């Protein structure tokens, strides 16, 4: 067994933090570690919190943490850093805001800045979630900015996705276009202290009538993170969705689909790693890039073919 996996099993939080660093850096023995970690999984409830930048996701999670802890559940938070690695502004902001929890051993908080890493943002986040699961947290909260494909990919690994919207921000259309409405199991109207709540709620109701054909009807909850309001209702709805997943075949179907997608992903990664290594090490192939008129389809097809033939 990987030494870090062993220490995680013994509930060593520093080992968990180190394992996530290893995951972020995509180091050599990551696969071995992940395989051990996978065998240790306990199946926490994975909850994704997504929404536009500044919607209040971090503030919300901060309050939700306190509420979840009051129910005597342990919780890990993975905040996928939305800002570029050059500024790091929101990361620092998040750290200070979440700081009040740092002394509680039932809470683990980790920011991830993994853009540009080999396995990609979604991969690293999923692996970090697994590591937290192996450690034995009851709940794992994941914060992502709902803007792109990698965020959508991350949401494919969670059980319950809460979409944070704010009144009068005009972000509904944006989010709709990005295909994020469809993945929401729960609509959270945060900043409900601001005007325009009724209008946003009506828009969401309308959306639900027209588009949503799933058996699960996403509830709409209102929260004011800055005043710690709505957390109980929010958590009740998350718990209801969890029950729905377990009591119907929806949960099993969702997990089967997730497993399939993940295996496909891993195959893609593994093959790419192998093929790429060969191309990188091959002087002749590298020289081919000098001819900028070269047909990329032709090159790709030939090299993949070469690589496959080599294995025979």
Ligand X SMILES: Nc1nc2c(ncn2[C@@H]2O[C@H](COP(=O)(O)OP(=O)(O)OP(=O)(O)O)[C@@H](O)[C@H]2O)c(=O)[nH]1
What Cα–Cα distance (Å) separates residue 303 from each residue in 72, 299, 309? 56, 6, 10
Which part of the chain contacts ligand X (CB under 6 A), choosing from 114-122, 219-227, 258-266, 303-311? 219-227
State yes or no: residue 9 binds ligand X (CB under 6 A): no
Rounded distance between C-alpha atoms, residue 309 and residue 274, angstroms: 14
State yes or no: residue 58 binds Mg ion (CB under 5 A): yes
Q: Per-residue DSSP letters for 38-80? A: HHT---PEEEEEEESTTSSHHHHHHHHHHHHHHTT--EEEEEE
Q: How many residues bind ligand X (CB under 6 A)?
A: 18
Q: How many residues bind Mg ion (CB under 5 A)?
A: 2
CB < 8 Å & 24+ apart, contacts of 303-311: 303/275, 303/278, 303/279, 304/275, 307/274, 307/275, 307/278, 310/278
State yes or no: residue 196 binds ligand X (CB under 6 A): no
Q: Per-residue DSSP letters for 134-148? A: HHT-SEEEEEEETTS
Question: Minimum distance from CB of 167 to ligand X (Å)?
Answer: 10
| CB distance 110 to 131 below 8 Å | no
Work out what residue 191 binds among Mg ion, ligand X, none; the CB cut-off runs from 5 to 8 Å by kind: ligand X
Question: Minimum distance from CB of 129 to ligand X (Å)?
Answer: 18
Q: What is the largest CA-CA distance in the chain?
A: 67
Neighbour count for residue 274 (Cβ, 10 Å): 12
Closer to ligand X by Cβ: residue 58 or 160: 58
Closer to Mg ion by Cβ: residue 190 or 242: 190
- The sign of the torsion formed by the CA atoms of 106, 112, 117, 119 equals positive
Question: Minimum distance from CB of 70 to ligand X (Å)?
Answer: 19
Work out what residue 59 binds among ligand X, Mg ion, none; the CB cut-off runs from 5 to 8 Å by kind: ligand X
Q: Which of 7, 57, 123, 126 binds ligand X (CB under 6 A)?
A: 57
Q: Which of 54, 196, 219, 251 binds ligand X (CB under 6 A)?
A: 54
State yes or no: residue 191 binds ligand X (CB under 6 A): yes
State yes or no: residue 114 binds Mg ion (CB under 5 A): no
Binding-site ranges for Mg ion (CB under 5 A): 57-58
Binding-site ranges for ligand X (CB under 6 A): 51, 53-59, 82, 90, 145, 190-191, 193-194, 224-226
């Amino acid at each position: 067994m990987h030494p870090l996996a062993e220490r995680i099993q013994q509930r060593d939080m520093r080992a968990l933090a180190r394992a996530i660093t290893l995951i972020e850096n995509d180091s050599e023995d990551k696969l071995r570690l992940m395989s051990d970690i996978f065998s240790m999984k306990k199946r926490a409830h994975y909850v994704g919190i997504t929404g536009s930048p500044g919607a209040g996701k971090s503030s919300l999670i901060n309050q939700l943490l306190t509420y979840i802890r009051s129910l005597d559940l342990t919780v890990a938070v993975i905040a996928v850093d939305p800002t570029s690695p050059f500024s790091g502004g929101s990361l620092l902001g998040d750290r200070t805001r979440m700081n009040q929890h740092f002394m509680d051993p039932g809470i683990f908080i980790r920011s991830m800045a993994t853009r540009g890493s080999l396995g990609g943002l979604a991969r690293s986040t999923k692996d970090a979630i697994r590591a937290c699961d192996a450690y034995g947290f009851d709940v794992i909260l994941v914060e992502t900015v709902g803007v792109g494909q990698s965020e959508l990919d991350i949401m494919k690994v969670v059980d319950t996705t809460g979409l944070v919207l704010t009144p009068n921000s005009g972000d509904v259309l944006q989010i709709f276009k990005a295909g994020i409405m469809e993945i929401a199991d729960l609509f959270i109207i945060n900043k409900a202290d601001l005007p325009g709540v009724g209008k946003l709620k009506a828009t969401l109701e309308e959306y639900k009538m027209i588009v949503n054909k799933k058996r699960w009807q996403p509830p709409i909850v209102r929260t004011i993170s800055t005043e710690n309001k709505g957390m109980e209702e929010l958590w009740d709805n998350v718990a209801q969705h969890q029950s729905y997943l377990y009591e119907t075949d929806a949960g099993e179907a969702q997990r089967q689909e997730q497993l399939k997608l993940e295996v496909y992903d891993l195959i893609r990664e593994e093959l790419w790693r192998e093929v790429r290594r060969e191309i990188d090490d091959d002087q002749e192939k590298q020289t081919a890039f000098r001819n900028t008129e070269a047909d990329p389809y032709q090159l790709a097809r030939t090299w993949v073919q070469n690589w496959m033939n080599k294995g025979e």
